[in-house]
Amino acid sequence: MTQHSTPAISASLTATAEALREGAMTARVLTDRCLDSAERGDQTGFVRLRAAQARDSADACDAAAADGRPGGSLHGIPIAHKDMFHRAGELSECGSRILHGFTPKATATVLTRLDQAGAIDLGALHMAEFALSPTGFNAHLGHGRNPWSGEHVTGGSSSGSGVVISARQVCAALGSDTGGSVRIPAAACGVTGLKPTQHLVSVHGVMPLAPSLDCVGFLAQTAQDCARLLSAVSGPDVRDPSCIATAAQDYESGIELPLGADDCIAVPDFPPDAPLSEELRAMLDKAVQVLRLAGVSVRRVTMPQMGELAALSSLVLGAEAGSMHWPWLHGRADEYGTQVRRRLERGLLYPATRYVDALRLRPILLRRFLNECLPGAQALLLPVLPYAVPRIEETISGNDAEIEAKFGGLSYWTRGINYLGLPALALPAGFTANGLPNGFQLVGRPLSEAALLRIGHQYQRCTDWHRRIPLA
Amino acid sequence: MSGNSIPQPVASGLALAAASQFAKRVSGAALGEASAGDALAGALHVVDIVAHVADQALAWDTVAEPFGTVLVATVREGLPQGPRS
């Protein structure tokens, strides 16, 4: 195991918030501890710290508390953001050379709302270049290195987000999920990750990759933490016309309700040739047993056509990302990392007619999936990764086609869910033989985040995988 | 929708040549022969799957719907007394 500096964070976000509220510690002390940990840390988590701003915010929180002014739901809580969430006047480089030095003029809505809730943003996190890798690889910044083993990938593209939660350097990390980029690093780093329903959370001020698929998400220690974070950022946003939220919502109330006869999860019958290792099949079986013991009933369903959904997702992503990057591909192509450039160039080859087909198919396939895979169930249990977290070396060896096939394999179980626009909660569920964590995801019906978070919370009351930390 | 009248090997050769020219024009540099071939093979594989699904599921008059509206509609559809669209 990798040697680590002493974790700055020992408790979950919600427990830490309670400790701050009760005066057990000050926001400034906690912020200093987190900044010290980040500065001494040997993992690829932060790319930039905003230490002075964070300390000022922490001091303001403490002053408000001393004056008896009520704090927000995230009062004094240290967080960090994937380096694609814009802050006016501060760098936002998206893991790239092309946006090196880019300073946006506007702040992302989600960052503004987290600020308003009292969160302390410590800085920007490592990510795959332009959010285009499920391994966490970045040709310019270097590989994301898993806190559980420096030789293994973090998962991506929200690589730094997975690292800083796993290493307990902050309480929460913002990520984005276009094809699995919150859930994959959550599973690979042994933390909890939430991808909300498509268009639920404002994407204003967030780097677009494929706007039909892009989702703001969170990584944190627990489902309850994710519930509090989602509550803090929820609500309509006039600056994001695609946002379907009609009102802010409290996703944490009701989370403690025990599971009972009305609660049901669907579990697919995974055929022998499904891309799923024996280790992970066993892990999923154990997770189902725990959920049964927690009170949920289980319904077996046929496996969804994940291969087809993955292809549809790839086409939409390729076409839209190709369009977004067209100006840079024409003239600045050499400033991309080779893998990212290849993925973008492939998107340029997709016919427009097939892209329109993919959009026309979306409502049909969504309704089919809900009818076949979620009949009378609140959630469908699926893997996140098809196998144990790979070594970095394994993900970069082979020719281009072999590497691309590995990328496709890593996001096989996740990117189809983006195509369907469904919410998904990734939960840690154990360790594979190589000593790395892994987990599963609960996929819900549209706008069913509260149900997913409640099931996830009750699962975590029966397990302790989410409490494990990579100590030496 | 799917299938064409051009013999497959000719179509592949034409497509590869077109892809290389297209990529060269866009990116300012020619894709290497191997890369162009890989990129095209990968793209064709995805397109073939999408074409297959589209052939099976799309009617002549199926149109793309605003997806946010669809997501909200399915919530109503899932309610016991809700109207079905």
Q: Tell me how far apart the alpha carbons of residues A443 and A301 are, in angstroms, rounded to a whole number.
A: 14
User: Angle at Cα A321 formed by Cα A318 and Cα A327, nearest 5°?
Assistant: 125
pLDDT at B25 over 80: no
Helix (H, G, I), strand (E, B) or coil at A360: helix
Residue type, A278: E
pLDDT digits 0-9 by tens, B45-81: 899 999 999 999 999 999 999 999 999 999 988 755 4
Q: Which of A49-63, A74-88, A131-145, A453-467 has the lowest mean pLDDT?
A: A131-145
With CA atoms as reference, report the closest residue to A411 among A46, A135, A207, A141: A135
Find the mean pLDDT for residues A326-353: 89
Q: Can A133 be counted among the known catalytic residues?
A: no
Please pick, among A73, A181, A314, A448, the residue that the annotation labels catalytic: A181
Helix (H, G, I), strand (E, B) or coil at B82: coil
pLDDT digits 0-9 by tens, A241-294: 999 999 999 999 999 999 998 899 999 999 999 999 999 999 999 999 999 999
CB–CB contact B54 A361 (8 Å)? yes
The token pair that represents A283 in the structure block: 């892990």
Find the mean pLDDT for residues A30-58: 92
Q: Tell me how far apart the alpha carbons of residues A133 and A131 are, in angstroms, rounded to a whole number.
A: 6
pLDDT at A207 over 50: yes
**Which pLDDT score, from 0 to 100, does residue B8 have?**
54
Q: What are the beta bridge partners of residue A217?
A: A175
Of B42, B68, B77, the CB nearest to A242: B68
Find the mean pLDDT for residues A185-193: 98
CB–CB contact A348 B62 (8 Å)? no
Of A334, A354, A421, the CB nearest to B47: A354
Task: Give the pLDDT band (50/70/90) at residue B14.
Answer: low
Interface residues on B facing A, Cβ-Cβ cutoff 8 A: 19, 22-23, 26-29, 31, 34-35, 38-43, 45-47, 49-54, 57-58, 62-65, 67-72, 74-75, 77-78
**Which pLDDT score, from 0 to 100, does residue A4 have?**
46
Find the mean pLDDT for residues A220-242: 98
pLDDT digits 0-9 by tens, A126-155: 999 999 999 999 999 998 889 999 999 999
Find the mean pLDDT for residues A433-453: 97
- Give ipTM to 2 decimals: 0.90
Please tell me the pTM assigned to this model. Answer: 0.94
CA dihedral A51, A54, A55, A60 (to 10 degrees): 160
pLDDT digits 0-9 by tens, A68-121: 998 899 999 999 999 999 999 999 999 999 999 999 999 999 999 999 999 999
Q: What percent of chain A is modeled with pLDDT above 70?
A: 98
Of A358, A366, A404, the CB nearest to B42: A404
Higher pLDDT, A151 or B21: A151
Q: Can A231 be counted among the known catalytic residues?
A: no
Inter-chain contacts counted by CB atoms under 8 A, chains A and B: 132
Q: What is the mean pLDDT of chain A?
A: 94
pLDDT at B41 over 50: yes
Find the mean pLDDT for residues A233-239: 97
Residue type, A40: R
Judging contacts by C-beta atoms under 8 Å, the chain A residues touching residue B78 are 370, 445
Q: HSE (CB half, 13 Å, CA atoms) of A241?
A: 1
pLDDT at A399 over 90: no
Q: Are strands A172-176 and A78-82 parallel, antiparallel or unpaired?
A: parallel
The token pair that represents A468 in the structure block: 């494990």
User: Beta-carbon neighbour count of residue A328 at 10 Å?
Assistant: 18
pLDDT at B9 over 70: no
Q: Can A406 be counted among the known catalytic residues?
A: no
CB A83 within 8 A of CB A111: no
**Which pLDDT score, from 0 to 100, does residue B32 have?**
56
Find the mean pLDDT for residues A352-370: 96
Higher pLDDT, A30 or A327: A30
pLDDT at A409 over 80: yes
